[in-house]
């Protein structure tokens, strides 16, 4: 474009240049909007944010649920938009929307993660109320606040909503949202490079610290030690701490006991699976955001009935149906939903214990029969201990009930298996990584269409 300003060769971590790229990104977004149907733009391209640039690469942030699909399907379209806007960028790269620079800058928190956008149901009503109370009066309501539940139920949404609320209504406060994984990575990097003093300043000189997925700290003894002192410094200084995990503090079995104890000092709140009414509300909101105000109520009801696990699966299922409808030019209907979306139910077609047994057996390279059966070989025994541990974590079955599902073993045998699994994980980082991977897989959200 003649006379257009040329953009490029900018440092990705320079905030001034990042702001300088906003006009360019606005022009690119306008070009993208004109190139695709409105529903496609609203669903896939509007949520994208410019993060910065390095050399000839523009860095873009995208929500987790759409990032891989946008990168595969729309990278070339975005490059065309950049070229049309006169930008000197040959490539684009994608990162998480909540991510930041290598020092964990969290200034780009997802603005959609707000209390107004959170759909309240019976399974999350208490968690929402507690999070809002903390946002309105940090350190005066519940400290620490600990939210727990399987992935995809809104824990991250609530933590980020607290951060967004405080940045809007109490900008004088120092607020930081991070994940336990990012905390660990930054701590390790600090030890290797700049030393830990700057790291401590970033995490202890705060009014509010929000840490997601603290189960990631399990087995990382040096990071646990640092987090223990960070927690103490903040708590004793009157700062608010908000944490989330996929389990109760008492079930973080390989985490240091003194940390588990501190996590329970305040209020511990579960976030449970959404009921049908909540799932329908979530789907209607997602459909509106995708520009599908006229979406069939029957189709949404069919989709809500087929997915009863979590909101991420709902979003993934909606995305998949929209993509199929767009490609095949078919109307959104209950029949299309039935053809595209398999049933995913916690208490219906899918047996969670069988799911765990199959996943663990596959991970350890043995048969399900060996996993459940009487084999005393080292491989099946270790796999069996892990499967029993995951069944204990992921179901409401009692120890005798678990024993019945694992070859009719008795209460004491199951208890011994749990203890041996905990001891093995505590002393083997590779086994811990495998178990954490299995934990994620058990509640893995539906992937975008391929």
Structure tokens that stand for 193 in this block: 């490079």
Task: Tell me the three state secondary structure of residue 405.
Answer: helix
Spatial distance between the Cα atoms of 389 and 434, rounded to a whole number of angstroms: 13
Q: Is the pLDDT of residue 19 over 60?
A: no
pLDDT at res. 240: 95
Q: How confident is the model at residue 107 (pLDDT cuts 50, 70, 90)?
A: very low
Structure tokens that stand for 98 in this block: 């909540």
Spatial distance between the Cα atoms of 298 and 282, rounded to a whole number of angstroms: 15
Helices (H) and strands (E) in the chain, counts: 20, 8
Percent of the chain with pLDDT over 90: 19
Which range (100-104, 180-184, 243-247, 428-432) has the least confidence? 100-104
Residues in the chain: 450
Spatial distance between the Cα atoms of 254 and 370, rounded to a whole number of angstroms: 27
Q: How confident is the model at residue 247 (pLDDT cuts 50, 70, 90)?
A: confident
**Where does 352-442 sit in CATH, by number?**
1.10.1750.10
pLDDT at res. 338: 52
Spatial distance between the Cα atoms of 317 and 290, rounded to a whole number of angstroms: 13
Phi, psi of 282, rounded to the nearest 5 degrees: -60, -45
Element (H, E) at 178: strand 175-179
Per-residue model confidence as pLDDT tens digits over 152-182 = 778 999 999 999 999 888 888 999 999 888 8
The count of C-alpha atoms lying within 13 angstroms of the C-alpha of 169, restricted to the half-sphere facing its C-beta, is: 13
Per-residue model confidence as pLDDT tens digits over 380-427 = 999 999 999 888 877 767 777 788 889 888 888 888 898 888 888 888
pTM above 0.75, yes or no: no
Secondary-structure class of domain 125-270 per CATH: alpha beta
Secondary-structure class of domain 15-96 per CATH: alpha beta
Spatial distance between the Cα atoms of 259 and 250, rounded to a whole number of angstroms: 10
> Running DSSP on this structure, what letter comes out for residue 313?
H
Domain ranges of the chain: 15-96, 125-270, 276-340, 352-442
Per-residue model confidence as pLDDT tens digits over 342-385 = 544 444 445 788 889 999 998 899 988 889 888 888 889 999 99
Phi, psi of 347, rounded to the nearest 5 degrees: -120, 15
Spatial distance between the Cα atoms of 168 and 335, rounded to a whole number of angstroms: 44
Q: How confident is the model at residue 39 (pLDDT cuts 50, 70, 90)?
A: low
pLDDT at res. 209: 95
Spatial distance between the Cα atoms of 89 and 71, rounded to a whole number of angstroms: 16
The DSSP-derived string for 7-70 is B----TT-HHHHHHTHHHHHHHHHHHHHHS-HHHIIIIITT-EEEEEETTEEEEEE-HHHHHHH
Phi, psi of 395, rounded to the nearest 5 degrees: -130, 170
Which range (166-180, 228-242, 281-295) has the least confidence? 281-295
Q: Is the pLDDT of residue 441 over 90?
A: no
Which range (222-226, 263-267, 305-309, 326-330) has the least confidence? 305-309
Q: Is the pLDDT of residue 309 over 70?
A: no
How far, in whole angstroms, is CA 249 from its chain's centroid?
18
pLDDT at res. 163: 93
pLDDT at res. 105: 45
Structure tokens that stand for 129 in this block: 């109320």
Are the beta carbons of 405 and 392 closer than 8 angstroms? no
Query: Which of 371 and 108 is assigned the larger pLDDT?
Result: 371
């Amino acid at each position: 474009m003649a006379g257009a300003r040329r953009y490029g060769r900018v440092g990705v971590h320079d905030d001034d240049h990042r702001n300088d790229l906003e006009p360019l990104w606005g022009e690119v977004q306008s070009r993208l909007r004109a190139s695709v149907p409105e529903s496609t733009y609203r669903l896939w391209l509007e949520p994208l944010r410019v993060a910065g640039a390095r050399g000839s690469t523009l860095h873009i942030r995208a929500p987790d649920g759409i990032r891989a699909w946008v990168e595969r399907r729309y990278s070339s379209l975005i490059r065309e938009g950049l070229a049309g806007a006169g930008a000197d960028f040959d490539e684009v790269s994608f990162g998480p929307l909540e991510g930041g620079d290598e020092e964990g800058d969290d200034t780009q928190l997802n603005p959609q993660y707000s209390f107004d956008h959170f759909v309240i149901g019976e399974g999350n009503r208490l968690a929402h109320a507690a999070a809002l109370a903390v946002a309105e009066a940090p350190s005066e309501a519940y400290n620490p606040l600990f939210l727990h539940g399987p992935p995809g139920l809104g824990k991250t949404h609530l933590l980020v909503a607290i951060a967004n609320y405080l940045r809007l209504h109490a900008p004088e406060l120092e607020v930081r949202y991070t994940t336990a994984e990012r905390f660990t990575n930054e701590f390790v990097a600090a030890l290797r490079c700049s030393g830990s003093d700057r790291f401590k300043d970033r995490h202890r000189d705060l009014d509010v610290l929000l840490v997601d997925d603290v189960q990631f700290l399990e087995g990382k003894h040096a990071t646990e030690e640092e987090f223990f002192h960070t927690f103490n410094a903040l708590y004793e200084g009157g700062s608010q701490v908000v944490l989330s995990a996929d389990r109760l503090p008492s079930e973080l079995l390989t985490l240091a006991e003194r940390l588990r104890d501190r996590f329970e000092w305040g209020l511990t709140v579960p976030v449970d699976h959404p009921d049908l009414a909540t799932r329908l509300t979530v789907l209607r909101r997602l459909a509106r955001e995708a520009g599908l105000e006229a979406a069939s109520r029957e189709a949404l009801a069919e989709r809500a009935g087929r997915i009863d696990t979590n909101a991420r699966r709902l979003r993934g299922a909606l995305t998949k149906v929209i993509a199929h409808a767009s490609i095949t030019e078919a109307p959104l209907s209950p029949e299309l939903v039935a053809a595209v979306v398999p049933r995913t139910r916690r208490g219906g077609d899918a047996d969670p214990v069988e799911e765990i047994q199959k996943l663990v057996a596959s991970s350890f390279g043995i048969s399900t029969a060996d996993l459940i059966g009487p084999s005393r070989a080292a491989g099946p025994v270790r796999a069996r201990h892990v499967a029993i541990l995951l069944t204990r974590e992921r179901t409401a079955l009692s120890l005798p009930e678990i024993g019945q599902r694992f070859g009719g073993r008795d209460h004491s045998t199951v208890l011994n298996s749990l203890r041996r699994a905990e001891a093995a994980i505590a002393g083997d980082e590779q086994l811990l990584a495998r178990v954490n991977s299995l934990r994620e897989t058990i509640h893995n959200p539906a992937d975008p269409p391929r």
